[in-house]
Structure 1
Amino acid sequence: MAYLTQPDYIKYVCSCGQLKPITNLYFCRHCLKIRCGFCICHEVDSHYCANCLENMPSSEARLKKNRCSSCFDCPSCFHTLSTRATIAQPRQDPAAGDAKIENKQPKKMYYLSCFNCRWTSRDVGIPDQPVASGGWPERTNPFAARVNQLLDYYKAIAQQEKQEKLDRERKKFAIRGKYMNLTDKTGLTGAMARNIAGLASSESSSSAIANFVPSQASEEVEELPEDYHTQEVNLKQITSMRQRLRAAEWQPRSAARLQPAARALSVKRSQRCRACDHNLTKPEYNPGSVKFKIELLAYYHVPEVKIISYETVKPGETTALLLKLTNPTAHEMQVRLLQPQDVPEVEEREEPKSIEKSLEKSLNLEKDSSWSKVLQRRAALPTACAVRAPDAALTLAQRDDAAEYDDDPQHDTSDIIMWRKSNKLALRLQVATAAGAAPGGPARAALALQYSYRNTVPPAAAAPAPRDHTLYTTLVIHLGTVAE
């Protein structure tokens, strides 16, 4: 969702200090903050194939290496391959005679073809298959055994380091009471706990480390052919770097050795606020659905500001600026224009501690809070241009879908308001440019909005929260460049 006429002329300041257009921001209805893609947590909900829309759980997708078993991409141009059918005539056997040939019926066979570059599976010698989906031969990696051995070795090392870290932390605590930890009280040994959690045992980890054979460099290197530097190069028969990296296991050098690549799976992801752990967006589980169960975009909760027109910005002069405000909510909104330095500091609200939060803290499973340092950063607002904000409260009507077809705006005789139309309002403002503004530099002005917001989230029974809130947001307006 983006404007074709004004892509990034107005950017909002996120709670983490990033400048983003309103179409790239989210609004958390629980902590009442604007969030961008850097201050939210991304979670994968489901895996699916974008071609056949086959849905599969995460465990199955992990076993299939996040690849679809029935869809393939062209190894030459990377478009999706299509299955073509052909009729295979029975082969004539001179020794059998014509009697057996009549009994054999033509059989339908299938092969893969690309409608973009006309590449087919027959070009590389892949035999046709009797079924349309599945059954295609899979090329095995010649180094699969070595790769699996390396994976088991590093998993064992990681498990050993984790166990050593736990042993060091356990020695720091003094014995309190009769039992040192929960395992001594319940009789649950460390091996049993690892088996229940699905982790590898210490014996298997030690055996994997002991049986590991490190790689050794070979002194013998295969020599190049004698005509390597003199033979003519045919670029049509040599693969490009992109084609080789697409098949990283084999990296074919010749175009005749290209193999169809299984199509990578797509994911549906939900986004969660890092501060309060509530969902901001959550899609439907069905891969064919484009709807969202939860879609808290800032475009539907924060007043939208667009530029109608503006005059050329010159140093030391005052120019006119026409803005349009839009109320996207279904409730009446009170808006006031402020300077960014007049925005009061809002203290963070503490969420009531639930049983899950206390249990998470008791199990020492707190999440990484290093992202909180990013939220403390503030954006550097421009000071060369300043919008003269009027000291008046503006009322924006609620959103009415039927009023969108009304083409007659209500003109206003005020010096500030030009016209009203449904939930929209046009303002006439003044922009003062500093005398020391450098000609040719960007002309940007900062403006703050104070608006009323009615929260539609049902409050908790224990601690009812007020429904009406006064919120603030800061935006940066780009007015081209400073004229000479």
Structure 2
Amino acid sequence: MAYLTQPDYVTYVCSCSQLKPITSLYFCRHCLQIRCGFCICHEVDSHYCANCLENMPSSEARLKKNRCSSCFDCPSCFHTLSTRATLAQQRQSQEAAAAGDTKVENKASKKMYYLSCFNCRWTSRDVGIPDQPVGGWPERTHPHAARLAALLEHCRAISQLEKQDRLEKERKKFTIRGKYITLTDKTGLTGAMARSLAGMPAEGAPAAGFPPSVAEEEVEGLPEDFYTKEVDLKQITSMPQRLASPEWQPVLVSRLQPLPRALSVKRSQRCRQCDHNLTKPEYNPGSIKFKIELLALYHVPEVKIISCDPLKPGGTGSLLLKLCNPTPHELALRLLPHDYGTEVEECAEEEEGDEKEPKPKKEVSKRPALPSYSHLSPLDVSLSLAQRDDAAEYDDDAQAAQPQHEIVMWRKSNKMALRLNVSLSEDAPADRCAVAFTLEYSYRNTLPPSAAAPRQPQDHTLRTTVLLDLGKLTV
């Protein structure tokens, strides 16, 4: 758990110029770009209850206010409540065969149920909720539920009317004279105008006689012993307990009610540029597998910091890095300065401007402010990294391969360690030191072929900028 609380010492620059760790990034195989959570679209696939694993469509979840009708949370500690059974004595009347119409009362036991929390020992009996049979738990009705529903319907009608007016203005703006697509474009008479000429209310229009809300000047006063009565904090609810049920907001602990459990969602994520899915889970709520899972951890080389010498302003230190190849193909790597990608893009734009028929320029995103006071050496070194081998992870007798370059410390399977030198300038900040470099790597696109366009595996050369956090400087 201590590792989860540590800062992200190695971050990658996303296509939208965000700095994120590799575990929070995605990789699009269609546009060959690294995406983060801010540059992708999030879509809800299904709703389900995480406790009973009941799957329900979006329309049913909307009617139930995204709550499960059979699972409840504890209003005191917010853990899941368990249903407990007990035998209750009740009186039943039965007709005795020997007595004719005479009714004989006898005691019979019936199984009843109540809710209990195994964490804080809260039960539904503590607040006076009677035990229920198998039928379920009744829902509480808010005294102002009718007024709230009327307000929602009124606001929905106003929103629909404003949307129709906006669409009507846009239609008139882009209508070409002499070219009519429909009869309403030629006559200028729409459905809304026809209803108004006939004296009928517009479709979705707000009700004319809707009573508005009126603020009252006089409010109910505080009780006389409000300032003198001794406060018992054990009998007063906390702010999280009140906000958990915003409709009621109970003040006393004796008025707490079981909270219907909120539904969970399975969401898919889509690339904003090419509109392809990056992650898509299984529809079954009990499955944790993904149909599509394009995480950057499976396609982009992973960089880790092994160790770093203490650094001083204007000094030089040694840095050990570990690179890992997550793909089943051999990678060709190059370490370049962090401003290398910007220079290449500017040169490409100049070449396109010299042509007679200029091509549409690509959108070049603004790069974040990377440190200019630190430099890595040596750079522009070509390396190769073997493909991933899952069986080699459990081979204890495997020996490390001999390094093929002076900066390579050791190689083993799809991993290797590099020794680099970090040089700092005199104006380096003492609070936090960082160094950036551009990682160029080869990528083999293995999109599944289709009947219309059969594809062959294609090799691409991609670049990503990596930022390393080296900690504080020594004085």
Q: TM-score range by the shorter chain?
A: 0.7 to 0.9
After superposition, the Cα gap between the structure-2 partners of 1:136 and 1:64, relative to the gap in structure 1 and judged at 3 Å, is same
Deviation at 1:29, TM superposition (A): 0.4
Q: Distance in 2 between matches of 1:411 and 1:6?
A: 34
Deviation at 1:239, TM superposition (A): 1.6
The correspondence for 2:444, drawn from 454, 458, 471, is: 454
After superposition, the Cα gap between the structure-2 partners of 1:273 and 1:178, relative to the gap in structure 1 and judged at 3 Å, is closer
Letter in 2 for 1:84: R
Corresponding residue of 2:336: 338
Deviation at 1:156, TM superposition (A): 1.3
Deviation at 1:3, TM superposition (A): 5.7
Letter in 2 for 1:203: A
Q: Distance in 2 between matches of 1:16 and 1:227?
A: 60
Are the counterparts in 1 of residues 69 and 260 from structure 2 also a CA contact under 8 Å? yes
Question: 1:79-98 alignment to 2 at 5 Å?
Answer: 79-91=79-91
Deviation at 1:90, TM superposition (A): 3.0
Q: Distance in 1 between matches of 2:295 and 2:259?
A: 37
Are the counterparts in 2 of residues 417 and 427 from structure 1 also a CA contact under 8 Å? yes
Letter in 1 for 2:242: R
Corresponding residue of 2:374: 385
Letter in 1 for 2:29: R
Corresponding residue of 1:360: none
Deviation at 1:7, TM superposition (A): 4.8
Corresponding residue of 1:24: 24
Corresponding residue of 2:202: 203
Q: Does 1:262 align with 2:263?
A: no
Question: 1:17-416 alignment to 2 at 5 Å?
Answer: 17-91=17-91, 100-102=104-106, 104-131=107-134, 135-177=136-178, 179=180, 181=182, 190=191, 203-206=202-205, 208-343=206-341, 344-345=344-345, 376-407=365-396, 408-412=399-403, 414-416=405-407
Corresponding residue of 2:359: none
> What is the DSSP-based 3-state SS (H/G/I as helix, E as strand, rest coil) of the residue aligned with 2:291?
strand
Q: Does 1:419 align with 2:395?
A: no
Q: Distance in 2 between matches of 1:415 and 1:5?
A: 35
Deviation at 1:16, TM superposition (A): 0.7
After superposition, the Cα gap between the structure-2 partners of 1:175 and 1:280, relative to the gap in structure 1 and judged at 3 Å, is closer
> Deviation per CA, 1:162-213, whole angstroms, max 9, x where unpaired?
1111222222244444525475589996479x9xxxxxx963533x331211
Deviation at 1:77, TM superposition (A): 1.3
Are the counterparts in 1 of residues 86 and 111 from structure 2 also a CA contact under 8 Å? yes
Equivalences, count: 447
Q: Distance in 2 between matches of 1:335 and 1:157?
A: 59
Deviation at 1:101, TM superposition (A): 4.9
> Deviation per CA, 1:295-348, whole angstroms, max 9, x where unpaired?
000000000111111111112222111111111000111001100122222989
> Deviation per CA, 1:280-309, whole angstroms, max 9, x where unpaired?
111111110000110000000000111111
Deviation at 1:245, TM superposition (A): 1.3
Letter in 1 for 2:204: S
Are the counterparts in 1 of residues 444 and 458 from structure 2 also a CA contact under 8 Å? yes
Deviation at 1:4, TM superposition (A): 5.5
After superposition, the Cα gap between the structure-2 partners of 1:464 and 1:91, relative to the gap in structure 1 and judged at 3 Å, is closer
After superposition, the Cα gap between the structure-2 partners of 1:178 and 1:477, relative to the gap in structure 1 and judged at 3 Å, is closer
182-191 or 48-57, larger mean C-alpha shift: 182-191
Q: Distance in 2 between matches of 1:449 and 1:203?
A: 61
TM-score, structure 1 as length reference: 0.85
After superposition, the Cα gap between the structure-2 partners of 1:27 and 1:186, relative to the gap in structure 1 and judged at 3 Å, is farther
Q: Distance in 2 between matches of 1:202 and 1:376?
A: 50
TM-score, structure 2 as length reference: 0.86
> Deviation per CA, 1:207-248, whole angstroms, max 9, x where unpaired?
x33121111122332222222222222222222222111111
